[in-house]
Chains A and B, each alone.
Chain A
Amino acid sequence: MVAERKLSHTAALILHAIDAGYVYGFSIMEMTGLPSGTVYPAMRRLEGDELIRSEWEKQKIADAEQRPPRKYYRLTPLGKTTLEAQRRRYPLLARLIPAEEEAAPRAAAR
């Protein structure tokens, strides 16, 4: 069954980070503490397995910030289902990465 797909802890962590709102590759790296050589290949595999999908941000957003456009990632419905199953398998996942809106006040407090 697809929902019972077995993922490694690293792949589950990345799915959780994306679901928590960290949609860019570098922000996933920062929150998970994983290097780029781990995060990006894992995201390719997750995208190949249709658990996440990638999209380019709007050009006007990039132009406004005077930088090149970035690619961001979202969970697919299959990815959401799989993540729920992985949260049962790895119950500490939720504690490892707070949601993005929770992380912002903490960063301000620092």
Chain B
Amino acid sequence: MLPRVEPLLALVERGLLRAARVVVPRAARAEWLAEWQGELAHVRAVTAARSRWQAGRERLGFCWGAWADARTLSAIERSRHRRFPRAQGSPVTCLLVLAALLAVSYGAAHLLPGVRAERALAPAPIGLALVLIQDAEDQHHGEPTIAPFEVRSWRLGNQRFFDGFAYYYLAQEQMTGAALASAEPDWRIAHATVNLLSLLAAPVRLRRPASAADAGLPVLVLSEQGWKRRFGADAHVMGQVVSLAGRRVRIAGVVPDGQWRLPGHADAWLLDPEAEHARGVLGYAVAHLTEQGQAMMRAPQVAITAYRAHSNIDSYEGIALGREVVGPWTFFLCATFLALVTLPAIAPMERAELSLHTEGLGWQRRLLRPLFFAAKLVLVWPIAYFVSLDAAYGSTLSSVTAQIYLQLVVGFLVCLFGLRWALGDQHRRCPVCLRRVAHPARVGTASSNLLAWSGTEMICTGGHTLLHIPGLPMSWFSAPRWLLREAA
């Protein structure tokens, strides 16, 4: 061997052994190292007559095996100190661990307030029987076109298709008050009739006035974004009186982000009985449909005719607002679909052949295996759902979009790798007793003519089966193969 290579090789060998020694239990380290060094000295002597590269490769390969030996010693030591004997790869243990994970993630979903709120809000569809009324001649959808007096006249008239009207218009105003450090200009306020938020079934609970003096004040409901940005998410602002364009109003609640789906962005809603009597403004009208009205809604948009005095007719357009809210469950289904599509790319899809005497297995044994796999899937899937909820809505992200993306990503990853684990675990379960095979042992060496078999052999700890995994797939042995050692 070249003079410089031998010291380097010896250094690498020493380094490998000393590094592996760290894994060995402390009490056995000295003896373990002495054993390996004694054998290594013999290996050096035996390989001295071989070629340089072969000798070096053999010596390094020998030292590399020290890691597996160290890990085995460490595992044996741990099992000696274990209070409760571990059921090696037991299927019951596997299902119990999954059930525990499910319980923890489910419990967290019930305890985290953000997750609770999201689950409570999401399934309820809003506005199923509501229409937004706009002037039929208006070509710019989304612009305010309705005057307050029109809504007043509809409400006072006899209606067959509608049983409730709400109105709002937008204005830019200044707010002052003790809760604000300084006057806040440019609040975009939606002046609305008192019934607007209740008609929309917005999830907001209005705080009652603290005193009789405040009872007559108009109620101001903040948007979540406005509350966080302007008031620093201070809960004590509820009930406080502020001045809005010189008028005293009482802050009574917060509308969560994502709940307002009508035209016009608003920082706050002023529920004011006088909104319907405003002059010189144009706004938006929302109407609730009766059953007859809902039956007439055969399309997302419908023509509405309003009859005025002296046979005058006004034409409007009604745009249906009702649609299902896309909630966390829908996002999770999307993530699951993506995970299923991606799974074949990363998971081992081949099944090990069960060779020899399969008729020795009773039908109950054969049924247990798919049932066990189904049980794992039934537990893994809801774990992924609740973990994605906890990760996305348990945090304090202010952006709804960020929460949705986080749920999609976490749900996709946990689903994908959970399913991959379930498949891989199933491939390593004994067909007879469903225990995981253990004690991997390399058997054979690579053959230059590809006729000799080499691979890994694993054994069921109950002694029922052997699993042979080919190191190099051949035409005559390409997939892992089970060998049944005795009739079950």
Contact = CB atoms under 8 A, between A and B. Distances in A.
- A and B physically associate: yes
Contacts of B46: 26
Given A25-B39, A26-B46, A40-B69, 16 more contacts: A6-B459, A8-B439, A8-B441, A8-B459, A9-B457, A25-B35, A34-B441, A37-B69, A37-B442, A40-B72, A41-B71, A42-B439, A44-B69, A44-B73, A67-B45, A71-B38
Residue of B68, B71, B466 with highest tally of chain A CB at under 10 A: B68
Contact of B67 (A11, A33, A37, A67): A37
Contacts of A10: 439, 441, 443, 457
Interface string B289-326: 00000000000000000000000000000000000000
B485 interface: yes
4 closest residue pairs by CB, A with B: A6-B463, A36-B65, A37-B65, A41-B72
A105 interface: no
Contacts of A67: 38, 41-42, 45
Contact of A42 (B63, B441, B485): B441
State the majority secondary structure of interface residues on A.
Answer: helix
B195 interface: no
Contact of A8 (B43, B462, B466): B466
A91 interface: no
A39 B224 CA distance: 66
B278 to A, nearest CB: 84
A23 to B, nearest CB: 12
Query: Chain A, interface size: which category?
Result: 20 to 34
A95 to B, nearest CB: 16
A95 B43 CA distance: 26
Interface string A61-93: 010000111110000000000000000000000
Given A26-B62, A42-B439, A37 B42 contact: no
Contacts of B439: 8, 10-11, 42, 45
Given A8-B466, A36-B62, A48-B76, A26 B67 contact: no
Interface residues of B, number: 36
Contact of A33 (B63, B66, B444): B444
Interface in B424-478: 439, 441-445, 457-459, 462-463, 466
A29 B444 CA distance: 11
A25 B40 CA distance: 10
Contacts of B69: 36-37, 40-41, 44
Residue of A24, A37, A42 with highest tally of chain B CB at under 10 A: A37
Nearest to B483: A9
Interface in B59-98: 61-69, 71-73, 76
Interface string A4-47: 00111111000000000000111001000111111111101100
A68 B444 contact: no
12 contacts: A9-B443, A26-B39, A26-B42, A26-B62, A34-B442, A35-B442, A37-B69, A37-B442, A41-B72, A68-B38, A70-B39, A71-B39
Nearest to B79: A48
Contacts of A29: 62
Nearest to B43: A26
A33 B445 contact: yes
B176 interface: no
A24 B441 contact: no
A25 B45 CA distance: 15
Contacts of B39: 24-26, 70-71
A28 to B, nearest CB: 11
Nearest to A10: B441
A70 B42 contact: yes
Given A9-B466, A41-B68, A41-B69, A34 B42 contact: no
Contacts of B43: 26
